[in-house]
Amino acid sequence: QIRSVEGFLALDSRANPTVGARVVLEGGAVGEAIVPSGASTGTHEAVERRDGGTEWNGKGVSGAIAAVGGELATMVVGMDATEQRLIDEAMIVADGTDDKHRIGANAMLAVSLATARAAAGALDVPLYRYLGGVGAHRLPVPMLNVINGGVHASNNLDIQEFLIIPHGAATFGEALRWGVEIYHRLRSELLAKGHSVAVGDEGGFAPDLGSHEEALELMVAAIEASGLVPGRDCSLGLDAAASEFWREGRYVMVGQGLELEADGLVEYMARLVDQFPIVSLEDAMAEEDWDGWSILTERLASRVQLVGDDIFVTNPGLLGKGIERGVANAILIKLNQIGTLTETLDVVDLATRSGYRSVISHRSGETEDTTIADLAVGLGTGQIKTGAPARSERAAKYNRLLAIERELGPGARYVDWTRAQR
């Protein structure tokens, strides 16, 4: 039974305030969680409640924190912490809006996750085991964002994320080592060519480059220089975050000097897939461009994983629409896009039942909270996207996955999901 709920303020990795919650149970178990925050947010995401005004540049969260310790606490104190669904549903009903803007998705998610952590603590099991039971044994293949562009950096790359995917490793630990070695090789190459090695919001390098192709060439070279085989050991992924450069029906890539219609952008992406060992393509089309998404899916779904982020925003209704229209073949899962753990579990379940893969994801504004690492193992989704292997808010998730792998010992599994695609 929940004895008390308190909200608190914390900073995220971009010097903005965010919401934390602390849930204490009658038996003394404690659970804490801190919520992240995005920059290239989807229009239909659940609403992050901010104070406005001048303090914290308008990004204060005192209203959301007050809701955690006030309205939400009053509601959930006395409830059984293991009744996650009942607790989340009570918060959803009390909020009463479609997008959680009244109470705030940041307030609700903090309580939702802190409750799960407290319940796991009371049962004396790690969070991944609480969420996944005895079946939780699969470590995710990481997608490491080694070159940052778009709104996550101030360089000339329109594509937001250039990812390395070390799927051919034998263990998660080996995959992470490969990722780290490639990251350092890439850094040396950039320096040798006179480029900046300053980093973007997710810890990847953020140089000005001649083209997106040049970024991908540098990544392939870094994989080879690490003694690995591109496509076999480690492949590439992109998150275009195309909603960010969609202007009244056209895709305007200012940094690249390109202006394309939907079918032109699909051909552009198809050329990249032909030229480079790309296995995953996220948000290659804008969130409003359902027709463009259909063209993309028809053209590339048999060859690469097409991940919907802004178009689905971890929302069961929007994923349902995508399944109906046959759009994309995977979904990015961000807890704070929907605002409760229960709804997140429901979306992953719907995706799995419909043959869509799920990729558990961080946000560009992160904290030391490592819930997504446990979520990825608990649900066995097989993939996680949590930034470069640098900057502590990103490394914290990788470190948690290393700890889970150690704890699982010989029971841990690392599965190459790309094999099913080849």
Binding mask 189-228 for Zn ion (x = CB under 5 A): ----------------------------------------
Rounded distance between C-alpha atoms, residue 244 and residue 145, angstroms: 18
Site membership for ligand PGA, residue 48 (CB under 6 A): no
DSSP 244: G
The answer to whether 389 touches 56, Cβ cutoff 8 Å, is no
Closest by alpha carbon to 44, among 322, 244, 317, 331?
Answer: 317
239 is in an annotated binding site: yes
Tell me which stretch binds ligand PGA (CB under 6 A): 104-112, 168-176, 360-368, 400-408.
360-368
Annotated catalytic, 202? yes
The residues facing 278 across adjacent strands are: 236
Residue 228 binds which one of Zn ion, ligand PGA, none, with CB within 5 to 8 A depending on kind?
none
Residue for token pair 């994923």: 319
Annotated catalytic, 397? no
Q: Which of 88, 181, 244, 309 binds Zn ion (CB under 5 A)?
A: 309
Rounded distance between C-alpha atoms, residue 173 and residue 51, angstroms: 42
**Closest residue to ligand PGA, based on beta-carbon distance:** 38
Q: Which of 88, 239, 287, 369 binds Zn ion (CB under 5 A)?
A: 239
The residues facing 163 across adjacent strands are: 145, 237
Query: In what helix (H) or strand (E) does residue 34 lie, and over which residues does it extend?
Result: strand 30-34
Tell me which stretch binds Zn ion (CB under 5 A): 188-196, 239-247, 293-301, 371-379.
239-247
Site membership for ligand PGA, residue 336 (CB under 6 A): no
The answer to whether 341 touches 88, Cβ cutoff 8 Å, is yes
Q: How far is the CB of 353 from Zn ion (least distance, A)?
A: 23
Residue 364 binds which one of ligand PGA, Zn ion, none, with CB within 5 to 8 A depending on kind?
ligand PGA
Task: Determine the Cα angle at 415 with ends 413 and 417, to 5°.
Answer: 160
DSSP 47: P
59 is in an annotated binding site: no
Site membership for ligand PGA, residue 364 (CB under 6 A): yes
Site membership for ligand PGA, residue 241 (CB under 6 A): yes
Exactly one of 48, 181, 202, 343 is catalytic; which is it? Answer: 202
Q: How far is the CB of 283 from Zn ion (least distance, A)?
A: 5
For the record, the structure tokens of 314 come out as 């971890």
Exactly one of 59, 334, 343, 397 is catalytic; which is it? Answer: 334
Site membership for ligand PGA, residue 233 (CB under 6 A): no
Nearer to ligand PGA, 92 or 241 (CB): 241
51 is in an annotated binding site: no
Tell me which stretch binds ligand PGA (CB under 6 A): 32-40, 93-101, 111-119, 272-280.
32-40
Question: Could you tell me how many residues make up the chain?
Answer: 422
364 is in an annotated binding site: yes
Closest by alpha carbon to 260, among 217, 289, 218?
Answer: 289
Q: Which of 309, 343, 374, 393 binds ligand PGA (CB under 6 A)?
A: 309
Residue 283: phi and psi, rounded to 5, are: 40, 50
The answer to whether 112 touches 95, Cβ cutoff 8 Å, is no
Q: How far is the CB of 16 from ligand PGA (least distance, A)?
A: 12
Give, as ranges, the residues between 94 and 133 that touch ligand PGA (CB under 6 A).
none
**Pairing label, strands 250-253, 258-260:** antiparallel
Residue 39 binds which one of Zn ion, ligand PGA, none, with CB within 5 to 8 A depending on kind?
ligand PGA
Residue 146: phi and psi, rounded to 5, are: -95, -20
Site membership for ligand PGA, residue 40 (CB under 6 A): yes
The answer to whether 88 touches 342, Cβ cutoff 8 Å, is yes
Rounded distance between C-alpha atoms, residue 166 and residue 226, angstroms: 12
Rounded distance between C-alpha atoms, residue 397 and residue 403, angstroms: 10
E strand intervals along 172-247? 235-239, 246-247
184 is in an annotated binding site: no
Site membership for Zn ion, residue 181 (CB under 5 A): no
Residue 363 binds which one of ligand PGA, Zn ion, none, with CB within 5 to 8 A depending on kind?
ligand PGA
The answer to whether 244 touches 254, Cβ cutoff 8 Å, is no
282 is in an annotated binding site: yes
Nearer to ligand PGA, 23 or 388 (CB): 388
E strand intervals along 261-419? 278-282, 305-308, 330-333, 357-361, 383-385, 413-414
| Binding region for ligand PGA (CB under 6 A) | 38-41, 239, 241, 309, 332, 361, 363-364
Binding residues for Mg(2+), as ranges, are: 239, 282, 309
| Binding region for Zn ion (CB under 5 A) | 239, 283, 309
Binding residues for substrate, as ranges, are: 152, 161, 282, 309, 361-364, 385
User: Which residues are marked as active site?
Assistant: 202, 334
